[in-house]
Structure 1
Amino acid sequence: MTEAENATRRTIHDRIRERPGVHVNALVRDLDLAPGQVQYHLRRLDRAGRVVGDELFGRTHYYTPEFDGWERGALALLHRETSADIVAELLAAGPLPAGETAERVGIARSTCSWHTGRLAEAEVVRTTRDGNRVLLSVAEPERTARLLGRVDPSLPERLVDRFTRLFDSMVAE
């Protein structure tokens, strides 16, 4: 292995350690590397047991091995700004009705429902019924708060979420 390959592999590994749950496209963008180059080094890192690739929600996300399956799923979702905002609101306020959660986060109820559906599927958020109301709560508050501190949505992820919010607000009017 050449010194350049070592440096590139180390750079990719360091980025995955800094941003657990990052996907290939983000690595390509963030590190200004060719997709094939990133994929080659990811395969090598995976074979060496230095990273774990997990297919979640339509993308393969990469982590260092210390994250368990639940944490990997939570991190993949928390990279989305809207999901992170919902979880942060629930952590701050405690259990809330779904409609109130949407209102506090400033999103349409349908957008809140879509995100909380995925969060519930990954067992990050619990949904319970109180009569006709759906109550939302964070399943594992301490672990979730720790993971929330590890994510920083990328610019493209934030733009997608903000466009969705803008569109929702225009449709709601």
Structure 2
Amino acid sequence: MQDKSFEGVLYVFVFVLSFLMYLLLVWSGEGIPPVEIGIGLVLAAVVAVSVRSRSNARHFGLAGLNPVRWAGFLYFLFGPFLWALIKANIDVAIRIVTGKINPGIVEVDTGLHGEMAKTLLANAITLTPGTLTVDVEDDSGVFYVHWINVTDPHPSGEAVYGSFGEWARKVAQ
């Protein structure tokens, strides 16, 4: 269960951040007219209320502030993901030139249960050329992926998205 005091701090943080961002956007170097301050307060309140109404099913925690988790994510982004992105671009370019494609939608059981891990994996798949996450079953963690070169109608996760699944487990769960 989430601590109510943390929720309050979160909404105040969203309000203040939204208000300051608006003021930064309208600041012209000569000051900010009072009407812009009023508009900023109203917009910040709307953003804070919308965050509050959308967060009923979500649980925010301090785990997202863990520097080790962020370091792992940055390593994944600039290491394995960047390397896979380069290889996929070359592979897709060769397939376009040669015409050797066998597209299709495959079902892959990821075994992931956390929302953040599923989101990270789905985005990594979609950002990699030649693959696109079409659908995700929330309860089972099964992904439907459009793949440019289907070699097996029931492939393993490793065949479709490489080590991305393991990285999603390490970074986000």
Larger radius of gyration: 2
Fold in common (TM above 0.5): no
Which one has a larger percent strand, Structure 1 or Structure 2?
A: 1
TM-score norm. by structure 2 comes to: 0.26
TM-score norm. by structure 1 comes to: 0.26
